Chains A and B, each alone.
Chain A
Amino acid sequence: MTQVKLLLGDEAIAEGAMHAGIKGVYAYPGTPSTEITEYIRHSAMSRENGIHCTWSSNEKTAMEAALGMSYAGCRSMVCMKHVGMNVAADAFVNAGMTGVNGGLVVVAADDPSMHSSQNEQDSRFYGKFAMIPTLEPSTQQEAYEMMAYAFELSEKEKLPVLLRITTRLAHSRAAVRISADKPDTVRKPADRDRSAWVLLPANAKRKNLALTAKQPHLEQLSASSPFFRISVPDYPAVSGNQGAHSGNDSVSGNAGALPGNAGAVFPKGIIACGTGYNYVMENHVLEAGYHLMKISQYPVPAEAVRKFATGCSQILVVEDGQPFLEEQVRSIVGGDYPVKGRLTGDLPRTGELNPDCVGEAVGKKTVPVYAVPEGIVPRPPALCQGCGHRDVYIALNQVLADYPESRVFADIGCYTLGALPPFCAIDTCVDMGASITMAKGAADAGLHPAVAVIGDSTFTHSGMTGLLDAVNDRSNITVVISDNLTTAMTGGQDSAGTNKFEAICLALGVEKEHVRVVVPLQKNMEEITRIIREELEYDGVSVIIPRRECMQTLARKKRTAGRQA
């Protein structure tokens, strides 16, 4: 039995994972991955099947918990945005060494064009780095179907599997045909093989050799995957002709009828993956005579690529993200063989692909009829009216006006918008938690006042250890934990440290009289600015906690209460 649902790519992944019988999803919210876990949290199936789905403190704790669940014999999923892979990397790469027991799928959502991110890093490099199978769906339907495939692959090869998506697929909706059956939770006995799980050098060396030796096999799986496809135009049948791509079981279309002989002109080829494949298809490349290979799994199937290239005069590589595939195709075909793509300028070197730039690369340039009228100005995002972060920045700006040497080291969250007018209040924003540690380093260099601004959820994600460093060094910094009781930027998920911040700071060794709590409201401005001044003047670690609920979650609670009343 099947049913059709209108799903975001993220939601299709969630459905696929639940139908694959997962016991848990572990995640820290991050655009564009958040909706995967949100969907599972709100689904009836997760309650019925007892799927663990509370938010983790960060991506590393999420990855490790999922590995533990796999060790215990159940299927688990980890979801994060691309930069979260950097946080999870220690656990992620070593999970490739230990291998898994219950299936383990890591979903990394990349953000080319940086709609909501600090960089454009491509998670497929992590898959290659860890030497594990990496999947890349093109459509919402594939995203759904790939989850069952991914868990089976993970258990069969005893390796974690990385599934990589991009913003466009994560946040685009389409009708998806999904199973209507109620899945059973997969459960195997817990693993006992200490030689696999204890990564002492003796064990690790053996595992490293085995994982490396497995790579040719994994390449073959990439070529035999049900999502791999070679499409060629419908040529009139030519009898007795050995087509350039004949002999490949995955060939679809009119294979083997390439109208070629010794002197034939070879067609142009395209190798596409992920959303790039959709833009290629949008431009009707088969009708234009191109041959097309769709890669949906890595490691790159080198032999299939070499063979495909032999039947083509050139290859255009179309991929969203960094030129991960293009570089590898170049090295596979070698020499003077023409490979085009982002590195040659046939496609833009950075940013998200779209149907238009791909069209131009296949000779179909679109010229818009209408231009954006002159005088249209950008409308940047801003902190919500009434948001507590606004009052924090108003207070900071007021006090710091008297300290021209001061610097404000900020962090990742809504409050990063304090960089924009009217506040222009922050000097840095680099990575989760860097506010505290960068302020510490600057203070160690003699900069004063060094102020850190960090949100509540970011503090428990990656700020606590940095605060301990500062306490141990008695660094002269003032930390502002702007607490709005939620993970606001990603839509208001639970924040791991809610109601625990004073206790955490005291336990890490911040002195009691230098942990100050205020309510960020205009009417309290005099008190807030006085406290900031006092703590700036204190030579040591101070923490100021302005605490007031996020306007968005507050409004949502009122709406829900109104409906229930």
Chain B
Amino acid sequence: MKKDIILSGVGGQGILSIATIIGDAAVRAGLNLKQAEVHGMSQRGGEVESGLRLSDAEIHSDMVPLGSADIILSMEPMEALRYLPFLHKDGYVITSSSPFLNIDNYPEEKVKSALAAMEHVITLDLDRISQENSMPKSANVILLGAAAGVIGILTPDQLRESIRNVFASKGERIVEMNLRAFEIGQEYGR
């Protein structure tokens, strides 16, 4: 069994934290994993992407091949669409519907209609949800929660345990908030 996931968003939105949580869960589950990250100049408010590959067999390429991703998990709707060529026929797009407007020519209507035309898509208004629940810094974990039912190769329980691990150093309050964020996300993923 394998899962190829494309994580995307805008630099600073926390996609690498999602990768860290999934990575921790994968290692604990004894799965093979490769995760290609983006560092350096591209992080400064530009488009960022990280390919995450999980498998019970050996993984060779650090990069996700075209047409092979099972999930595109994105903190930003246009950034989800940018990586569509990597998605396989029955793959899922799980994305925030809240546009990150740091460019003048953002094609809001085109993004909306393109997402609406997708067959396997889960969108959630992450800005609103994270604000309503007073957890703006956990928007990424809400998104992970929304994907929990689709990831498959890891159970929600395994992901929860890794949320504990990853945030443990920041104190129990932060751990609890992120577990709650994960649960809220799960509701939207159903």
Contact = CB atoms under 8 A, between A and B. Distances in A.
Interface residues of A, number: 50
Contact of B65 (A4, A35, A366): A366
Interface stretch (A45-53, A374-382, A394-402): A374-382
Contact of A381 (B33, B36, B46, B65): B46
A377 B107 contact: yes
Contacts of A4: 27
A370 B84 contact: yes
A563 B88 contact: no
A378 B23 contact: no
A89 to B, nearest CB: 23
A563 B78 CA distance: 34
A550 to B, nearest CB: 12
Interface stretch (B98-106, B126-134, B152-160): B98-106
A370 B85 contact: yes
Interface in A335-385: 354-356, 359, 366-384
Looking at chain A's contact residues, is the secondary structure mostly helix, strand, loop, or mixed? loop
A182 B66 CA distance: 43
Nearest to B89: A369
A174 interface: yes
Given A368-B86, A384-B45, A171 B107 contact: no
Contact of A382 (B45, B68, B107): B45
Contacts of A367: 67
Contacts of B65: 282, 354-356, 359, 366
A6 interface: yes
Interface string B1-25: 0000000001100000001000110
A354 B67 CA distance: 13
A282 B61 contact: yes
Given A174-B35, A375-B110, A489-B41, A168 B27 contact: no
B107 to A, nearest CB: 4
B34 A116 contact: no
B82 A372 contact: yes
B40 A32 contact: yes
Contact of A282 (B11, B35, B60, B89): B60
A115 B37 CA distance: 12
Contacts of B38: 115, 171
A369 B42 contact: no
Contacts of A116: 39-42
A376 B81 contact: yes
A474 to B, nearest CB: 36
A173 B171 contact: no
A253 B128 CA distance: 57
A381 B41 contact: yes
Given A174-B35, A367-B67, A382 B87 contact: no
B172 interface: no
Contacts of B45: 379, 381-382, 384
A177 to B, nearest CB: 11
Interface string A151-195: 000000000000000001101111100000000000000000000
Nearest to B79: A379
- Which residue, of A32, A172, A370, has the highest number of chain B Cβ atoms within 10 A? A370
A384 B65 CA distance: 32
Contacts of B39: 31-32, 34-35, 116, 171, 491
A173 B63 CA distance: 11
Contact of A380 (B24, B46, B61): B46
Contacts, number: 150
A8 interface: yes
B22 to A, nearest CB: 11
Interface in A207-236: none
B176 interface: no
A172 B51 CA distance: 9
A275 interface: yes
Contact of B37 (A34, A172, A374): A172
A34 B32 CA distance: 26
B40 A354 contact: no
Contacts of A417: 41, 44
A115 B44 contact: no
Interface string B109-153: 011001000000000000000000000000000000000000000
Given A172-B36, A175-B33, A370-B85, A383 B62 contact: no
B47 A368 contact: no
A376 to B, nearest CB: 6
Given A356-B65, A371-B85, A373-B110, A381 B42 contact: yes
A115 B41 contact: yes
A414 interface: yes
Given A373-B110, A563-B171, A31 B40 contact: yes
B27 A370 contact: no
Contacts of B11: 381
A369 B60 CA distance: 23
9 contacts: A115-B40, A116-B42, A172-B34, A355-B65, A367-B67, A370-B84, A372-B85, A377-B106, A381-B42
Given A173-B34, A368-B87, 15 more contacts: A6-B23, A6-B33, A31-B39, A174-B32, A175-B27, A282-B60, A282-B61, A366-B66, A372-B84, A376-B107, A380-B103, A381-B44, A382-B45, A384-B45, A414-B44
- In the A-B complex, list the 6 residue pairs whose CB atoms are closest, starting with the nearest: A381-B46, A116-B40, A31-B40, A375-B110, A368-B85, A373-B114
Interface of B: 10-11, 19, 23-24, 27, 32-47, 59-63, 65-68, 78-79, 81-82, 84-89, 102-103, 105-107, 110-111, 114, 170-171
